[in-house]
Each structure stands twice: as structure tokens, then as C-alpha cells.
Chain A
């Protein structure tokens, strides 16, 4: 990569007689085209971020963070119940999804060098690509239909199903990075295999695994589609897992497609809060992990 990125290799230019005018122009034109694509890609991205910050900070206020939605037409109100609802649903999803995902990752890394391991690996990759709305249907079928009503639990199950394959694959990758000598040293001291895996291998890979978990968390935290007919949404406070629950992405969606300016304003504020929640959650855990472990991967 280093050689081609320095085209002014004067020694070479002298040996080669001359490059035709047409080829030189093509070269410059294509470089220009590549730069142009970069600009075209970055422009909407910067626009999205800029708009989010501008509109979000213009709309956010204390009431938004502490109050529940007001009826249509009344100004004020906020999304406090949706923020709490999101935390509740994500908590359920993490409790269900994280241990399963890490366990499956341990299986793949420590026991999965066989046909079944390959099958699970491929399944996890395929599950990563399943549209989130389809996962929503499944959670509806296995939870909502039995409970007979929408619930935070159903939303949590849907998000947990989405977390497992991602966490599983990153955990496996991180465990495989742990040097084999560490395992051998533990075996050599007579440590049983399960203790070696849990307190040596897993411990060494902690920071990488937590990063993977946070990536999965960030991915599902903004998911709206699987919550539409599982958590469903709620205009009021709810702290119970078996009741319909508001969630930040759901609320943003409902407000965005509504015809009211006040609600549009709140949708932008909600989007900003959602992004901030995701970014701080990820940053906080990464920071804590970096401090907490010593010289880990």
C-alpha cells in the first residue's frame, strides 16, 4: 500500500519513457472521481449529524426529560416514560441475550472445532442478516400470543434474539486471540478446564468481549421495527414487564409521522437523546473496561 500511494517515484519515472497524454488524463480524472464519491458520501452524513445536533439541541428541555406525553394540542410534555421504557426493554434484552451469546461464543472458541461448530457459526452469521421486523413477528408469536397482550418482555425477547448472534461471534473471535500458552500454563498448574476458561481465558479477553457486547447493545438500542408489535408503545409510565411499554425509537417514529409541529420538535429531541444514550453507554463501558483490566487484549 505504501508504494502506490507515492506516485512521485522519480527513479521509476525516468526509466519509463513517457506515459501517453490520454493515460495521464484518465489517471487524474479517476482520482478526481474517487474524491468526488467521497464528498458525495460524506455530505449526507454530515447533514444528518448536523441536523440532528441543531434540531435536537434546539428542542430539548427539562420538561422533555422529566414528563410524559401531553394530549395532542397541548404544548409541552416529554418522553421520560419512553426513556425509562427503553432502559427496561434493553435491560431485559441484555439479561437474556448477553449470557447466551457469550456462552455460545465460548462453545465455538473452546469446543467448536468440529462440524457442529461450523454449523453454529454459519447460523449465527445468517441470523445477523435476518430483517429485524421478522424477529419482531417471532417474538409476537412466542410471547405476545401467549400473554394475550403487548409487553416489555416481548420487546426484550425480540432484541435479545438480535443480540445473541453478534455477541456470539465477537466473543469467539476475542477468545481465539488469547494465547494458547496461557491455557496451557493453567492446565499445567492443575486448574480444571472450566476454571481455566472462566478465570483465565475469559478474563483475559474481557475488554474485547465487552466491546462486542456494547456493539450489539448499540445496534439493538435504536431498533424500532421489532418493537412495533411487541412492546407496542405507551403514553403513560410503565414499570411492569408484562404491560405495553413506551420506547424511545417507537416514540420518535410515531411523532415523526404525526402531523403536529410540536411532536416533530419532540421527535428531534428524542433522536438526540437516543444517540446520546447509545454513545455514552458504549463510551462509559469501554472506559471502565480499559481501567479495570490489566494489559488485556
Chain B
């Protein structure tokens, strides 16, 4: 079954050429001259409109989301305006709110996740499509995709009890000693903080990036590889010149899709990032993200302005992920469109 991430509105493969005239035929003309059965026209119309109604709910959901977020954040919008995204105070008692620390935390943790995840995910995709023995290919991709099915709260649970002690006991002291001069790895090695959030996010988005990269690599035409080999390229040169260069746009699309997931990821990050609205240079320091402030404070928000400020953060998060996802889909579509259905598996 195809990955839901890649859908082309025009699937040429499974569709017979003759489909157009048939679907275009409405209830009136379909019956052919021999059988003029008027009795089925009304149910046909009812059925069609019922299905259209179902289709319209999908649009309706999007409209509902936008409307609710915009309407319910207006209070905060009127109180703070654009400055909301540039201020860094978060003071529920005095009803003074600024989203900068959360935006910073979301961006830095996602960026960190991408830096870790992209080389690993692309490496795995290249290995499974170009190098791995065919017998291993199926189980490997199955296992990597199994990771996508693990709930985020379980990643968080593992991060709290395994990753964080590992970081505070070994990794962070080591990084502090060797790379402390950069300023990125200073401070007490608590384990909980931006670094832990970045690593757990990376683990979570690797399956997404890697499965899309794999799909894109698989639709690179075989003759590109053969041409590179015929010119005397080694296997790596063939991959670099013949495969990766052709698949560039699609891989970037997959990376952006992973970014979209990382930006909106809530539970695992909330459990390890430390939840403190501060902007610190060190990756050891605790931070806060847009999604985790919603998770922690939404149900306890007293006061309309407080709630409205939180919903405005939700609106910002929504808009950013919409843009990121739309961009990613267009990139992936541009590569896989027009390829045979068998190549998408």
C-alpha cells in the first residue's frame, strides 16, 4: 500500500483510459437507449449529493479550524498585535504575553532534529534502495516504518528514563569538555533540555524522511544508473551522480515533511525539553516550544487573555505547518508525478 504522504491527484496507472466518458455521464444519459429506468435516478442523485456532502466536510474541517483559531485568538491579537511574536515575557499573572521564547524553542529543536536526522535518514534510504541485499530490503523498511506507528508519548517515556540519564551521565559532560568553547554546550548537564528534545525529535522523524527518500530514489529511472555505470563510475559515483542528483527535489520535499512533523510534535518534546520560557544559547539549557506550552498550560489557563494568547500560539503553529506541508507536498509531487504506480510502493 502506498505511503499516504505521496498522493497524486492524477493516478495514471490503475485507471483505464475509458474512464472519462463513463464518469462524465450523468444519471440521465447513463442508462443507454435500451433501458430507460427512471426509478434509479432519484436514489442516484441522493447518493451523489450525500457523497459530495462527505467530501465537503473535509473542506469544512479546514474552515472550522481556521475560523475557531482566528476568532478565539482575537482578544490577544488586539491586545498585543504583531509585537506578540517579538516579545519574550510570559506572565499570566499580569496578563502580559509574548511568544518569542516558544518560537525560538520550536525552531531550534526542529533544526537540531533535522541536522541529526537528515544524513541518517538519507543514508538509510540509499542503503535500502541501492546497496542492500534484496532479501533484507523488505524487513528493513518494514522495521523503520514500524517506528512511525509508535505513539509519541512512548518515545517521551523512553526519552525520560533512558535518553536523559544517558545524556546527563556521559554525552553532555563529554560535549562540554570537548566543544564547550563554542558556547553551545555549556552549563550544568541535567540531560533535560534542548539537546534531548532535538535528539528524540530526530529519532521520530527519521522514519518519515527515510521512507519518502526511499520512494523518491525508487522512481529514479533505471537507465540513469546504467548510464553512470557504463561510463565507468563506481557504485558511489553512480549513486551520487545518477541517483541522488535526480532525486534531489523529492528528498528535499521529504525533509520538509519531516520538519513539519517536528514543528508540531508535542508530547515527547514536552516531556524532555524542560519547559522554561527562556532563550539560551546553550543546548544543555531547558527551553519551551509552541506545542508544549499549549500542552502544559491550556487546560489551566485562567482568564480570557491568557487563553486567547495560547490560541494565538496555536494559530501561528497551524499556519507554519500548513505552509511547510504544502511546500513539501508540491516538491514530492513534482518528482513522483507521472511515474508508474508500481514504483510508489
Partner-B contacts on A (CB < 8 A)? 1, 3-5, 7, 12, 16, 19, 23-24, 26-27, 30-31, 33-38, 40-42, 44-45, 47-48, 51-52, 55, 99-100, 102-104, 106-108, 110-113, 116-138, 140-142, 150, 161, 164-166, 168-170, 173, 176-177, 179-181, 183-184, 187, 190, 192-194, 197-198, 208, 211-212, 215, 218-219, 221-225, 228-229, 232, 249, 252-253, 256-257, 264, 267-268, 271, 274-275, 278
Contact = CB atoms under 8 A, between A and B. Distances in A.
B32 to A, nearest CB: 8
A164 B121 CA distance: 29
B127 interface: yes
A128 B332 CA distance: 15
B107 interface: no
B130 A161 contact: no
Interface of B: 1-2, 4-5, 7, 9, 11, 14-16, 18-20, 22-23, 27, 30-31, 35, 37, 40, 43-44, 46-48, 50-59, 61-62, 64-65, 68-69, 72, 119-124, 126-127, 129-134, 140, 143-144, 146-147, 149-158, 160-162, 203, 206, 210, 218, 222, 225-226, 229, 232, 234-239, 257, 260-261, 263-267, 271, 291, 294-295, 298-299, 311, 314, 317-318, 321-322, 324-326, 328-329
A131 to B, nearest CB: 3
B227 to A, nearest CB: 11
B153 A249 contact: yes
A267 B124 contact: no
A169 B7 contact: yes
Nearest to A48: B158
A215 B1 CA distance: 11
A7 B61 contact: no
B65 A138 contact: yes
A208 B31 CA distance: 30
B15 A176 contact: yes
B58 A164 contact: yes
A27 B234 CA distance: 6
B3 to A, nearest CB: 10
A228 B266 CA distance: 11
B36 to A, nearest CB: 10
22 contacts: A4-B239, A24-B234, A30-B236, A37-B119, A37-B120, A37-B123, A40-B120, A52-B158, A104-B58, A106-B54, A118-B9, A120-B56, A129-B260, A131-B266, A131-B321, A133-B264, A180-B22, A192-B44, A194-B44, A252-B157, A256-B153, A256-B157
Q: Is the interface of A mostly helix, strand, loop or mixed?
A: helix
B322 A48 contact: no
B266 A133 contact: yes
Contact of A48 (B46, B61, B121, B154): B154
A98 to B, nearest CB: 11
Contacts of B31: 190
Contact of B143 (A1, A42, A208): A42
A121 B8 CA distance: 9
Contacts of B35: 190
B57 A27 contact: no
A137 B69 contact: yes
Q: Interface centre among A107, A124, A132, A135, by most B CB within 10 Å? A: A107
B235 A193 contact: no
Nearest to B2: A173
Contacts of B144: 41-42, 45
A108 B11 CA distance: 12
A180 B267 contact: no
Q: Interface centre among B61, B64, B263, by most A CB within 10 Å? A: B61
